[in-house]
């Protein structure tokens, strides 16, 4: 009998959004069991959340430090195998490093940390402990994102020339942080959110999508960031012009003040012969335009026309819509398989340390460019030699 | 600590489609644990499937009869609380009746059985044992279906006049059953599928959607069924004209020979002042047209504009697409809550015996009408007095 | 120098809808000149309308009889070459017959007349005079309708099996005729509208679209008509089941009480290998589904992928939307070319007497079926030998 | 009797695209008559085109100079009242100035000329002659563009903050000019096209749409232009960051190398309370999002919900699609009314000299910014005092 992979969670108590998402993503395929947690700095919250999740009270911990220590004391067959980090950003790396030092595997929300250097400091620990570190760039869990990458790779649209990626949201069009909204609050606090606001929160998703589908790195950016309220310390809106290897240019917009917009991440890539378009809000379709030919719409689930990687990320026949939680669950399922089978994340198609570093380097270049009148700034694409990029 | 609700599964071994869907639907919210199963008449299949699902081998049973017997011998805190029936149709009622007699609760795939009378025979057993019987009309788990019902009820489109519901699929456009396709095979065997083919398989979904959103019963039908291959014993395509109380008429089409179609269930309802439109393949949107006004699109997750029942069936902020598995999981979550808290299914918004009987009565009227040159046939809307209709 | 083809108009004075449409359709391509008219039984209306249209007052006639007589007296190079009939239905045939007897060509709104026999009576007159009679089934002027027919003919979706055509409108959801609406008024008067209401007004468009794209005739129908107001004498809503040659069946719905709907004509055709879908409200796209392959969307204007007939009905590069007036103008342009060059309508792709008779035969069968409890009624597909069907 | 407004055309012989568009736009409403032309420098082309257009041969002129001279010799009731200029860009102003000096009115394709100063030189001539000068920014002829402006003005989306406008085309993804394509050829020749390529050809449309809907002026830009082929002298792709009065910022992308794209102009405007979205390829819909409310889709033709200006630009009931030619015809119809009634263009809602100057100033700032490492450059918003902006 296969035993479920045992997960612990840090952060994500009641009132948080993303913690519940990670729990559902972990649960969906029946391969992962949530066995322990330190959901909140408020232990009452941890207990209430834990009770709802059917976690034994003795494995609900007062602090993440306690959780790491006490789980290590448990017999191997019982103790958690990996932790899921869903705290505000500033805690990601301290927890990840401590966990890796104790040999636990890690799956972490994005952005990975507060600076490139902070995240780079995780690399030697992972190397010495053998821990796996995964980063939940949700949108890389969607099958049609893999199909897009596959079509680009096989030349369907010719040589890549132009990328547009946009990520409008509307939830910060009002000054929510002023009225005590918890999500808005920490995201507007540089000590907790890090270098950037909207760019860190959603711009990094757009960045990772660009690099993943194109299988190329951004090499420089010219960034224009804005904040639309005096009290708002971090950007809520921005546009990034970028250049990639090989004469590819692009435009990335990310904004949280587009009132009325939901979560409208969309990417378009154009090559010498055609273009690809994918929208997160209609995730099961991939539009493929080729000059002079009818547009094609590839659909998730439609067996014969999809690549293997896309099919592996599909649970249902076409026409039975899958969505955000299924994409998230794809990351968890592949990560859990890597943990259990001691496989590489790259082989499992899950973003990890390289993508974490890329994201931090992107943010640092963006902030630097914005601070210097939008001058072009190179992105630090140095990656520790022992780690592999997902999209290579 | 809340303990998970314990589920057993009958049917759904490897190679089946809907069994895995039920398992994921049960798992998603972390409230249900699959503790035992008899997945297949082939015990090897049961063992392999069970191992993948981390079920203890001693609770993988050779037959459903054995499972019911042996689980009953377990202590109450350990034994399964309900069974999920995902076998071909002809086994639904024998299993459900046996399970109810032993006091287990039941959640069952549709259609409920082979005839109205067969299903009606379950009623007294449920009454005497107190077991809950739920029927997985998946589409009633979608939040925007509840929103549609809510808007109709509050008069947004005036007095209802006309309903169009359509359900085209394409997977039986080829004679798959001739080439050994398992799904197509039993669906074409009257001894396993029952009275009807496409009408039983998908027409009943359309029927339940009509009755649920309108909160009315169909009262008579004129049915036209066809089979497009000589070897195909049951209908693969049909159109049903129907009348409801209160001068409402409608057209229901269901077909599995619409080559190229995926799973394109769509319903439109028109009243004296406007119309509603919902499509399963874009499930998070509900189109509302009112004469002389801009069309409105209600969106799942968008808090302020949705009714309570829709919000209760939503897990994510708008723009984070939810789909078929989430709808299915809504049925499981509400059913599990009814089981654990001894609440009524109706209060929990899950279809049950009344809907099971309605579906069978619909099918019997359809088949009778088709056999008699499409003459209008009354639907048997008798319901045992102790059971309540969901949509009332 | 090419001189414009000279047109006279009967009907279509101020306050009518379709007259202005015919005038714009005639004018768009600069090949037709409106030289005379009898717009209304009210000569003041004729004068006002004529002044707006820059028609010389001496060629604004008190009655259509006067117009036919006096135009005949003019020298050939000056007198009108054809008339456009845009009156209520009951006048179509009397005017057309008188015009044909005098050797004028005719383009006429639909339905053609009040009965099959009435329209059949036009045939010998046309034969003896050599006049051309065209019927403005607007939707056959759309390029993507021709593309659909082309793809079906060349086997893209295999052997045709199933057709769904729907035509919901909402403008008669209220009892407009009771409040003096002119359009609604005559359409509800059997003496002016003819056999049927919605079926005559829009059902015939759906019927012509089915026969044109499929290149087949409907052979029998089972019809269900309704009127939703006591004062409404003719149907405002109906569903027609139909059978065609060669084991093709279909469903046609046409309704004018679908509150909130605009003009949502849509047709879907399914064959053994795939399906076609065209919607009048997105007329520049044609969806093509083939089993197991990505959906294709053919687009008007996109040169390489369209058939010749579709390209001939396109004026602009793709992405520059054309619409209803352009489709209408295609009929006028082709008709005017037939008139000037003495070509057959069939060669020019414009519906004529055969389609007029088909439409009347369809309506008569529909009304007869509805009157006899929806029994199946054969459609009279007799066509005078000297006339050719467009879609053959 | 109203006589049609008499038009002459310069440019637009066979083989050109936009000339035929202007002719159809002029013809559609039956208010304008094309009476003379100099279609081409090649008089054979002029004669052939003129014959097709039923223009008397004696009014087909060898050169535009000859046309202006000889028309002036005709009696006033016969001679053309205005000219339509559809030549390559470099001839716009020389012709317009000569025509204005002779007292003819002018409607001219865009961009208006080769430089701001060149266009500014037209102002005193117009003032002294009283000629009207209109510029065919087609997209300002669409009813839903007027509706967008109306909704913004009345506060539907609150205070404007952010604008995204994009205009991707694909037709220059290949090096068409190298293979003799006439359209691509002159557009790539700075002596004929002017300052810019794609920015002049389509970027100016995007710019005019932004200023018109927002009723504000762009005040500065940071521009990034590219050309994707060595032989291509002018930009084929660019992104412009812009700022407007009152703390509004935006992003404008225009590209002709987005292979597979048709003519996909789209604008989105966000304010403090919601957003507007309009796409040229679905021109009859306007999406309105308001925070926390269902999205609304306003539709052309739907009487009760549209503003007067939108209704005035609509010919058909909703659901009967109108498109590019109808939008173009709206400009011609309003212009012709201004000519005949001696009204101001502004009152008639047609762009004129101010918009022509704005477009040139925009292009000059764009080119200057691009040449100086994308530094922010102010746009020259000086407008001669006697001319009024359309959007004020």
- Final residue of a domain: which of A116, A138, A160? A138
Share of chain C above pLDDT 90, in %: 88
Let me know whether A145 and A131 are in one domain.
no
| Residue C186 pLDDT | 79
Is the residue at D305 inside a domain? yes
Most confident of B12-16, B192-196, D85-89: D85-89
**In angstroms, rounded to a whole number, what is the distance separating the alpha carbons of residues C41 and C11?**
8
The enclosing H or E element of C52 equals helix C43-52
What's the pLDDT tens digit per position in A207-231? 999 999 999 999 999 999 999 998 8
Chain C CA closest to residue B253: C251
Q: Are B248 and B160 in contact (CB under 8 A)?
A: yes
Whether A326 has a pLDDT exceeding 60, the answer reads: yes
Is the residue at B332 inside a domain? no
Q: Are A330 and A313 in contact (CB under 8 A)?
A: yes
D98: confidence class by pLDDT, cuts 50, 70, 90: very high
Q: How far is CA A4 from CA A31, A338, B56, D222, in A?
A: 5, 13, 12, 55
Average pLDDT, chain B: 94
Is the residue at A264 inside a domain? yes
The separation between CA A145 and the C-alpha centre of its own chain, rounded to angstroms, equals 14
Chain C CA closest to residue A304: C292
Let me know whether A197 and A244 are in one domain.
yes
Nearest to D248 by CA among D277, D219, D226, D286: D219
Candidate from D292, D295, D305 with C-beta closest to B303: D292
D166 to chain A: which residues are within 8 Å by CB?
A: 164
Most confident of B174-178, C94-98, C176-180, C195-199: C94-98
Provide the pairing of β-strand D237-244 with A218-226. unpaired
- For C34, phi then psi, to 5°, come to -85, 110
Candidate from B30, B51, B281 with C-beta closest to A27: B30
Is the residue at B330 inside a domain? no
According to DSSP H, which parts of chain B are helical?
Answer: 18-27, 43-52, 64-73, 92-101, 116-120, 122-129, 143-153, 182-187, 190-193, 198, 204-214, 308-312, 324-341, 345-348, 353-371
Q: What is the DSSP letter of D57?
A: G
| Residue B113 pLDDT | 95
Higher per-residue confidence, C180 vs A219: A219
Chain D CA closest to residue A373: D375
**In angstroms, rounded to a whole number, what is the distance separating the alpha carbons of residues A220 and A239?**
14
B162 to chain C: which residues are within 8 Å by CB?
A: 237, 255, 257-258
| Residue B391 pLDDT | 60
Chain A CA closest to residue B325: A322
Q: How many interface pairs between A and B have CB atoms less than 8 angstroms apart?
A: 128
Average pLDDT, chain A: 94
What's the pLDDT tens digit per position in A88-101? 999 999 999 999 99
Query: Residues A146, A147, A149, CA angle at the centre, nearest 5°?
Result: 65
- For A32, phi then psi, to 5°, come to -130, 140
**In angstroms, rounded to a whole number, what is the distance separating the alpha carbons of residues C169 and C171?**
6
**Mean pLDDT, to the nearest integer, of B106-110?**
97
Is the residue at D297 inside a domain? yes
Let me know whether D67 and D152 are in one domain.
no
**Neighbour order of strands in the sheet with C5-10:** C32-38, C5-10, C82-85, C105-108, C133-135
Share of chain A above pLDDT 70, in %: 99
Cα dihedral D243→D244→D246→D248 (10° resolution): -60
Chains touching chain D, criterion 3+ CB pairs below 8 Å: A, B, C
- Final residue of a domain: which of A109, A138, A167? A138
Q: Which residues of C touch A (CB under 8 A)?
A: 288, 292-299, 302-305
A342 torsion bin: left (phi>0), alpha (psi -120 to 50), beta (else): left
**In angstroms, rounded to a whole number, what is the distance separating the alpha carbons of residues A78 and A81?**
9
Let me know whether A176 and A133 are in one domain.
no
Is the residue at C275 inside a domain? yes
| Residue D1 pLDDT | 65
Chain A CA closest to residue D292: A260
Q: Which residues of C touch B (CB under 8 A)?
A: 157-158, 161-162, 164, 166, 168, 170, 173-174, 222, 224, 226, 228, 237, 239, 241, 249, 251, 253, 255, 257-261, 268, 270-275, 288-291, 295, 374
Candidate from D158, D161, D259 with C-beta closest to A272: D259
- Final residue of a domain: which of B78, B111, B138? B138
Let me know whether D245 and D374 are in one domain.
yes
What's the pLDDT tens digit per position in D133-183? 999 999 999 999 999 999 999 999 999 999 999 999 999 999 887 777 877
Let me know whether B164 and B253 are in one domain.
yes
Q: Could you give the ipTM of this predicted complex?
A: 0.95
Q: How many interface pairs between B and D have CB atoms less than 8 angstroms apart?
A: 38
A302 to chain C: which residues are within 8 Å by CB?
A: 292-294
**In angstroms, rounded to a whole number, what is the distance separating the alpha carbons of residues A305 and A321?**
17
Provide the pairing of β-strand A237-244 with A248-255. antiparallel
Give Cβ neighbours of residue C112 (< 8 Å, ≥ 6 apart): C92, C93, C96, C119, C135, C356, C357, C359, C360
The separation between CA C26 and the C-alpha centre of its own chain, rounded to angstroms, equals 15
B370 to chain C: which residues are within 8 Å by CB?
A: none
Whether B182 has a pLDDT exceeding 80, the answer reads: no
Task: Give A37's strand partners.
Answer: A9, A60
Is the residue at A389 inside a domain? no
Domain CATH code at residue A186: 3.30.360.10
Residue from D321, D327, D333 whose CB has the most chain C CBs within 10 Å, to mutate? D321
Candidate from A174, A226, A241 with C-beta closest to D249: A226
The answer to whether the CB atoms of D54 and C4 lie below 8 A apart is yes
**In angstroms, rounded to a whole number, what is the distance separating the alpha carbons of residues B17 and B22?**
9
Domain count, chain A: 2
Let me know whether B115 and B227 are in one domain.
no
The answer to whether the CB atoms of C162 and B257 lie below 8 A apart is yes
Domain CATH code at residue B39: 3.40.50.720
Let me know whether A90 and A163 are in one domain.
no
Q: How far is D224 from chain A (nearest CA, A)?
A: 9
**In angstroms, rounded to a whole number, what is the distance separating the alpha carbons of residues C350 and C227?**
33
**In angstroms, rounded to a whole number, what is the distance separating the alpha carbons of residues A245 and A240?**
16
Nearest to B363 by CA among B379, B382, B374, B375: B379
Q: Are D196 and D220 in contact (CB under 8 A)?
A: no
Is the residue at A338 inside a domain? no
Nearest to D378 by CA among D391, D390, D361: D361
Let me know whether C189 and C120 are in one domain.
no
D180 torsion bin: left (phi>0), alpha (psi -120 to 50), beta (else): left
Whether D346 has a pLDDT exceeding 70, the answer reads: yes
Q: How far is A273 from chain D (nearest CA, A)?
A: 6
Nearest to A74 by CA among A2, A3, A6: A6
| Residue D392 pLDDT | 53
Residue from D150, D288, D295 whose CB has the most chain B CBs within 10 Å, to mutate? D295
Q: How far is CA B288 from CA B152, B153, B165, C257, in A?
A: 10, 14, 16, 15
- For C19, phi then psi, to 5°, come to -60, -45
Let me know whether D134 and D146 are in one domain.
no
Candidate from A288, A296, A304 with C-beta closest to C292: A304
The answer to whether the CB atoms of C281 and D321 lie below 8 A apart is yes
What's the pLDDT tens digit per position in D254-268? 999 999 999 999 999
Let me know whether B110 and B173 are in one domain.
no
**In angstroms, rounded to a whole number, what is the distance separating the alpha carbons of residues C5 and B378?**
61
Let me know whether C221 and C362 are in one domain.
yes
Residue from A57, A172, A325, A330 whose CB has the most chain B CBs within 10 Å, to mutate? A325
Domain boundaries, position B241: 142-323+352-378
Whether D295 has a pLDDT exceeding 70, the answer reads: yes
The answer to whether the CB atoms of D319 and C262 lie below 8 A apart is yes
The answer to whether the CB atoms of C292 and A299 lie below 8 A apart is no
């Amino acid at each position: 009998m296969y035993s479920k992979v045992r997960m612990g969670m840090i952060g994500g108590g009641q009132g948080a959004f993303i913690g519940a998402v990670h729990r559902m993503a972990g649960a969906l395929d029946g391969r992962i069991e949530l066995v322990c947690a330190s959901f909140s700095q408020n232990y009452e919250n941890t207990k209430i959340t834990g009770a709802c999740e059917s976690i034994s009270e003795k494995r609900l911990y007062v602090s993440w430090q306690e959780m790491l220590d006490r789980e290590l004391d448990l017999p191997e067959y019982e103790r958690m195998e990996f932790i899921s980090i869903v705290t505000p950003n500033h805690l990601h790396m301290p927890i990840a490093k401590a966990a890796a030092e104790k040999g636990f595997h890690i799956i972490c929300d994005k952005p990975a940390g507060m600076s490139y250097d902070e995240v780079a400091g995780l690399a030697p620990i992972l190397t010495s402990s053998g821990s796996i570190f995964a980063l939940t760039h949700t949108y890389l869990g969607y099958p049609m994102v893999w199909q897009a990458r596959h079509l680009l790779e096989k030349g369907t649209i010719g040589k890549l020339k132009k990328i547009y990626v946009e990520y409008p949201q509307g939830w910060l069009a009002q000054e929510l942080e002023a009225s005590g909204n918890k999500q808005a609050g920490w995201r507007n606090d540089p000590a907790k959110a890090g270098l950037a606001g909207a760019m860190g929160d959603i711009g990094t998703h757009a960045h990772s999508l660009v690099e993943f589908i194109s299988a190329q790195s951004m090499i420089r950016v010219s960034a224009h960031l804005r904040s639309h309220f005096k009290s708002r310390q971090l950007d809520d809106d921005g546009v990034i012009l970028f250049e990639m290897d090989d004469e590819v240019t692009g435009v990335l917009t990310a904004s949280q003040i587009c009132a009325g917009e939901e979560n409208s991440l969309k990417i378009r890539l154009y090559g010498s012969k055609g273009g690809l378009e994918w929208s997160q809000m209609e995730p099961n379709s991939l539009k493929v335009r080729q000059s002079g030919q009818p547009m094609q719409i590839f659909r998730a689930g439609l067996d014969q026309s999809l690549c293997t990687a896309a099919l592996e990320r599909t649970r249902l026949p076409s026409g039975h819509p899958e969505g955000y939680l299924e994409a998230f669950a794809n990351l968890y399922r592949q990560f859990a398989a890597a943990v259990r089978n001691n496989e590489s994340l790259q082989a499992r198609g899950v973003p990890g340390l390289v993508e974490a570093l890329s994201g931090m380097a992107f943010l640092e270049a963006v902030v630097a460019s914005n601070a210097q009148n939008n001058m072009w700034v190179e992105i630090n694409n140095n990656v520790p030699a022992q780690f592999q990029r997902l999209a290579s």
